[in-house]
Amino acid sequence: MTTARFDPVDALRGEVTPPTDKSISHRAAIFGAMAADPVRIRGYLHAADTTSTLDAMRALGAIVEVHADEVVVRGSGLREAQVPDAPIDVGNAGTLMRLLPGWLAAQPGRTYHLDGDSSIRRRPVDRIAEPLRLMGAGIEATDGRFPPFAVHGRRLHAIDYTLPVASAQVKSCVLIAGLTADGATTITEPKPSRDHTERMLAASGVTLRRTGDQLCVTNVDELLLEDLVVPGDPSSAAFWIAAGVLVRGSRIVIRATGTNWTRTGFHRIVQRMGGIVVGDLEEDPGDDVRAGEPVSDLDVAAGPLVGTTVEADEVPLAIDELPLVALLGVFAEGETVVRGAQELKLKESDRITAVVDGLRGLGASIEATDDGFVVQGTGELRGGTISSHGDHRLAMLGAVAGMASREGVTVEGMDAAAVSYPGFTDDFATLASA
């Protein structure tokens, strides 16, 4: 476990290119392995989680070539996933753990075992198990809901399924399973969630329709996917947005970042609080299912912040950035409230408890609620020590808190940042010295 110190800075200035998108990289590798022809992926994220996905695709029979500027996946096909000799190790990758069973469930007569690290073994899989069982697959999980678990592939049939909570991972799992199911599978979302899977399916020529809160996908013989380009990760860029807004005198340009409307909920929250974030942010396309991902540079600067309330319908579009909303609330005038964010308890750590305890230890006035937190803006943060609890986003939260604090912050477990942003400390050094 690596300890790192982040002292207050006078200003952050310059340009930064965040690592490419983790969510899209996972999907690109999985869809590449399911595709009929080789798929070239430019900008694939090379980090711990996404490496687990490449290793998993190799275990299932795909040939994966990693080059300096691209990854090439020669897949085994939609219905020909091989059975590995050992359990598939998903590492700490929750996206891999929840999307992959949608493909494996469609391999009749084959059984696959999935496992991961100690953190992943605390993350439930019952939300994907329920719809897959309804479609005809067999799922056996530890204590009925945790990894390690087994997927028994069978012939699947289509279902009409209403998601109990908005979840891009569960939605994606069911959509992938629907590619091989008899009939048309319909999914109803209670609220919008990330739509990277839908965009990738549209790019593959799959018949996919959206009507209001419903998605419908039909059976296909094969996937024909064009080469893919992965944009900068909005969730990684969010840490520089927060830093640029909090550290007075800062001016940061964030290059080539994805601006998909289902990923920029945090950007809109920051703008509402008074932070300056300028860029070409995509608007809600309604029922249009778009192929491809929008990209833009973002110009970020500090501004006086005011508290805000994040309601439940905003949570799915900013779920990974909500810890940063808590930090912004410390420096905002008034009260900042996040509601309807129970999903934070099911991430790499219990992020409600970890964020509240961590920021309170640094001097914040923050209280946990059953579904979020309440922050009283004081205008400053003392500093101190914070633990990442092995969670990459908490590690980087502590780093940003240190930059904006009065005394600096020591982050215990800073190496966790490598899960999604291996070059984070190098980028910080560049912006702080400009």
The full set of domain ranges for the chain reads 3-19+232-433, 22-216
Distance of alpha carbon 287 from alpha carbon 10, whole angstroms: 46
Q: Which residues face 15 on adjacent strands?
A: 253
Which of 168, 167, 177 is CA-nearest to residue 139?
A: 177
The domain 22-216 is placed in CATH, from the list 3.65.10.10, 3.40.50.2000, 3.40.1010.20, 3.30.70.260, at: 3.65.10.10
Which of 258, 312, 262, 188 is CA-nearest to residue 43?
A: 258
Catalytic residue among 320, 391, 415, 427: 320
pLDDT of residue 237: 97
Residue pair 259/284 in contact by the 8 Å Cβ criterion:
no
Q: Which residues face 74 on adjacent strands?
A: 63
Distance of alpha carbon 348 from alpha carbon 123, whole angstroms: 8
Count of CB atoms situated within 10 Å of the CB of 310: 23
- CB burial readout 315-342, b (16+ within 10 A) else e: bbbbbbbbbbbbbbbbbbeeebbbbbbe
pTM above 0.85, yes or no: yes
Residue pair 373/326 in contact by the 8 Å Cβ criterion:
yes
**Single-letter amino acid code for the residue at 406:** R
The DSSP secondary structure of 114-151, one letter per residue, reads EE--TTGGGS--HHHHHHHHHTT-EEEEETTTEEEEEE
Q: Which run of H or of E encompasses 374?
A: strand 372-376
pLDDT of residue 68: 84
**What is the spatial order of strands in the sheet that 228-229 belongs to?**
63-66, 70-74, 39-42, 228-229
State the CATH architecture for 3-19+232-433.
Alpha-beta prism (3.65)
Question: Can you give the pLDDT of all 434 residues of the chain as single tens digits?
Answer: 799 999 999 999 999 999 999 999 999 999 999 999 999 999 999 988 999 999 999 999 999 999 988 999 999 899 999 999 999 999 999 999 999 999 999 999 999 999 999 989 999 999 999 999 999 999 999 999 999 999 999 999 999 999 999 899 999 999 999 999 999 999 999 999 999 999 999 999 899 999 999 999 999 999 999 899 999 999 999 999 999 999 999 999 999 999 999 999 999 999 999 999 999 999 999 999 999 999 999 999 998 999 999 999 999 899 899 999 999 999 999 999 999 988 777 666 688 999 999 999 999 999 999 899 999 999 999 999 999 999 999 999 999 999 999 999 999 999 999 988 999 999 999 999 87
Torsion angles phi and psi, residue 352, rounded to 5: -65, -55
The DSSP secondary structure of 199-266, one letter per residue, reads HHHHHTT--EEEETTEEEEE--S-B----EE--B-HHHHHHHHHHHHHSTT-EEEEEEEE--GGG-HH
Distance of alpha carbon 169 from alpha carbon 287, whole angstroms: 20
SS3 372: strand
Would the CATH topology of 3-19+232-433 be identical to that of 22-216?
yes
**320 among known catalytic residues:** yes
Q: Is the peptide bond before 148 cis (omega within 30 degrees of 0)?
A: yes
Distances (CA, A) of 340 to 148, 358, 378, 384: 29, 21, 24, 29
- CB burial readout 251-269, b (16+ within 10 A) else e: bbbbeebbbbbbbbbbbeb
Distance of alpha carbon 300 from alpha carbon 347, whole angstroms: 28
Which of 403, 366, 360, 407 is CA-nearest to residue 383?
A: 407
